[in-house]
Homo-oligomer: A and B are copies of this chain.
Amino acid sequence: MTIKEQLAKRAQDVEAYLTHCLHDRGIPARLQQSMEYSLLAGGKRLRPVLVLSWASLLHPQDTDITDKVMPFAASLECIHTYSLVHDDLPAMDDDDLRRGKPSNHKQFDEATAILAGDGLLTEAFGLMSAASIVKGLPADRVLRAIYVLATAAGAGGMVGGQAVDMEFTGRDDVPLEELREMHAMKTGALITAACECGAILAGAGDEDIEHAREFGKSIGVAFQIVDDVLDVISDTETLGKPAGSDEAMGKSTYPSLMGLEKSKKLAAEYIDTALQYLSGYYGSEQEFLWQLSRYIVDRVY
Q: Which residue of chain B has the shortest Cβ distance to A145 in the bound complex? A: B129
A86 to B121, CA, bound (A): 14
A125-B150 contact, Cβ under 8 Å, with A22-B155, A111-B91, A155-B27: yes
A26, B160: Cβ atoms closer than 8 Å: yes
Partner of A92, one of B27, B111, B132, B163: B111
A166, B133: Cβ atoms closer than 8 Å: no
A129 to B167, CA, bound (A): 31
Q: Which chain A residues in 1-36 approach chain B with CB under 8 Å?
A: 22, 25-28, 30-32, 35
Q: Which chain A residues in 103-147 approach chain B with CB under 8 Å?
A: 109-112, 114-115, 117-123, 125-126, 128-130, 132-133, 138-140, 142-144, 146-147
Q: Which of A28, A112, A122 has the most CB of B within 10 A?
A: A122
Partner of A119, one of B126, B142, B155: B155
Is the CB of A66 closer than 8 A to any CB of chain B? no
B123, A154: Cβ atoms closer than 8 Å: yes
Q: Which chain A residues in 162-212 approach chain B with CB under 8 Å?
A: 162-164, 166-167
Is the CB of A89 closer than 8 A to any CB of chain B? yes
A31-B159 contact, Cβ under 8 Å, with A125-B146, A126-B154, A154-B126: yes
Is the CB of A151 closer than 8 A to any CB of chain B? yes
Q: Which chain A residues in 80-105 approach chain B with CB under 8 Å?
A: 82, 86, 89, 91-92
**Residues of A bordering B, CB below 8 Å:** 22, 25-28, 30-32, 35, 82, 86, 89, 91-92, 109-112, 114-115, 117-123, 125-126, 128-130, 132-133, 138-140, 142-144, 146-147, 150-151, 153-157, 159-160, 162-164, 166-167
Pairs A–B under 8 Å by Cβ, sample size 18: A25-B156, A27-B155, A28-B164, A31-B155, A31-B160, A89-B111, A89-B114, A111-B163, A114-B114, A115-B166, A118-B159, A123-B155, A125-B125, A126-B150, A129-B146, A132-B140, A132-B143, A139-B139
Q: List 20 additional contacts besides A91-B110, A115-B159, A126-B150; criterion CB under 8 Å.
A: A25-B151, A26-B157, A28-B155, A28-B164, A30-B163, A35-B155, A86-B114, A91-B114, A114-B114, A115-B155, A115-B162, A118-B155, A122-B150, A122-B153, A128-B146, A129-B147, A133-B143, A133-B147, A139-B140, A142-B143
